């Protein structure tokens, strides 16, 4: 308890809580509005104090911003996505040098999301309730990020319960699949047992919501999903795609259709060849062992079948929480295993 209270004194515990609030987007007074205001002011204060910004972050943000400046149909929305990512990068940069604060960030995020999960209990019998977000898929993705962050939060079953309620009540199949992969990567009996509990919550919620079949989709539903992605990849290629993309966040405004549940496909439409810049940055980070596989593979699973991490405003806050937690923990592990550290 003393250690937990000590972590909560860190400003990065507040940063974690803000990331949790940023996953709420229910109307004008959603938590993301408050989080955006505070994050914007915080980032401005950091820049006034001449805080450094990672060069890779600047490069990725430039790639995301350029198509929007050229021809997006919703410049404000595209600019808000880029600005949010830039502000989070400015604030999170010192965390890479202050490793003790990563547990504070994870704990703050865990507390913020777990408190939200209490409200989901009241809607457990509603079919795929949106909670404080705009859709159930976002609810499940938030629970998955908490599931990944919880080992670093030091909050034990409190954080796991919040993740279980989000993923279970939201009936997010991709989030559940990614959570299972993460549990296997940890090779922890505790984490695998916790995942069984998560599945139990999902089964209970599906029964109460009258949609048990959702957890075991038939071949027709799978075939329909594959056909939809194929049509989005081929049918829109000549009609909408530009070499430099349509602008980050512009898929809905341009095509009038639902976003493809695939981060790579969405990035290709919105950023075009510029999407190779963030892809290259990620490849470099993996090659340099800056990004651990236990983070990359589950997140990639989520990104293959959903788009919340990059296609929605809330995704920036989820990425900030999980990326900073694992980038810092990976850097710590690399230093401790290096000949200099020994």
Q: Which residue has the higher pLDDT, 153 or 222?
A: 153
Residues 72-108 have pLDDT tens digits of 666 777 778 888 888 888 888 777 666 667 788 888 8
Q: Read off the pLDDT of each residue in 32-52 and give the average, rounded to a whole number.
A: 87
Residue 178 has pLDDT above 90, yes or no: yes
Task: Tell me, yes or no, whether 116 lies in a domain.
Answer: yes
Task: Tell me, yes or no, whether 42 lies in a domain.
Answer: yes
Most confident of 83-87, 200-204, 275-279: 200-204
Residue 320 has pLDDT above 90, yes or no: no
**From its phi and psi, is residue 90 left (phi > 0), alpha (psi between -120 and 50) or beta?**
alpha
Task: Tell me, yes or no, whether 342 lies in a domain.
Answer: no
Task: Tell me, yes or no, whether 339 lies in a domain.
Answer: no
pLDDT given at position 329: 63
Nearest to 178 by CA among 332, 289, 16, 308: 308
Q: Read off the pLDDT of each residue in 274-285 and give the average, rounded to a whole number.
A: 83
pLDDT given at position 54: 67
Task: Tell me, yes or no, whether 39 lies in a domain.
Answer: yes
Could you tell me the residue range of the domain that residue 51 belongs to? 2-334
pLDDT given at position 337: 45
pLDDT given at position 245: 77
Task: Tell me, yes or no, whether 325 lies in a domain.
Answer: yes
pLDDT given at position 339: 37
Task: Tell me, yes or no, whether 48 lies in a domain.
Answer: yes
Question: What is the gyration radius of the CA atoms in the chain, in angstroms?
Answer: 20
pLDDT given at position 106: 84
| Count of domains for the chain | 1
Residue 341 has pLDDT above 50, yes or no: no
pLDDT given at position 177: 92
Task: Tell me, yes or no, whether 340 lies in a domain.
Answer: no
Buried b (16+ CB within 10 A) or exposed e, 24-34: bbeeeebbbee
């Amino acid at each position: 308890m003393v250690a937990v209270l000590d972590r909560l004194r860190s400003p990065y515990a507040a940063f974690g809580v803000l990331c949790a609030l940023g996953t709420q987007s229910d109307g004008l007074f959603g938590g993301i509005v408050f989080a955006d205001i505070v994050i914007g002011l915080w980032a401005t204060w950091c820049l006034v104090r001449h805080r450094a910004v990672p060069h890779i972050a600047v490069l990725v943000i430039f790639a995301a911003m350029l198509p929007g400046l050229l021809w997006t149909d919703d410049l404000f929305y595209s600019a808000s996505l880029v600005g949010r990512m830039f502000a989070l990068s400015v604030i999170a940069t010192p965390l890479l040098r202050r490793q003790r604060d990563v547990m504070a960030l994870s704990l703050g995020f865990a507390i913020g999301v777990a408190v939200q999960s209490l409200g989901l209990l009241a809607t457990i019998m509603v079919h795929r309730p949106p909670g404080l977000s705009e859709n159930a898929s976002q609810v499940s993705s938030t629970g998955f990020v908490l599931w990944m962050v919880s080992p670093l939060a030091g909050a034990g079953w409190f954080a796991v319960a919040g993740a279980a309620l989000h993923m279970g009540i939201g009936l997010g199949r991709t989030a559940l699949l990614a959570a299972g992969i993460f549990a296997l990567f940890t090779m922890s009996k505790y984490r695998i047992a916790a995942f069984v509990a998560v599945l139990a919550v999902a089964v209970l919620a599906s029964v109460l919501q009258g949609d048990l079949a959702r957890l075991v989709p038939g071949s027709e539903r799978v075939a329909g999903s594959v056909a939809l992605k194929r049509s989005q990849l081929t049918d829109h290629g000549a009609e909408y795609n530009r070499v430099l993309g349509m602008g980050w966040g512009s898929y809905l405004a341009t095509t009038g259709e639902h976003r493809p549940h695939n981060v790579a496909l969405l990035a290709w439409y919105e950023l075009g060849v510029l999407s190779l810049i963030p892809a290259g940055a990620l490849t470099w980070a993996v090659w340099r062992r800056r990004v651990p596989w236990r983070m990359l593979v589950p997140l990639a699973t989520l990104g293959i079948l959903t788009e919340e991490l990059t296609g929605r405003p809330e995704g920036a806050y989820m990425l900030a929480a999980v990326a900073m937690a694992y980038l810092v923990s990976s850097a710590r592990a690399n230093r401790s295993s290096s000949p200099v550290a020994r």
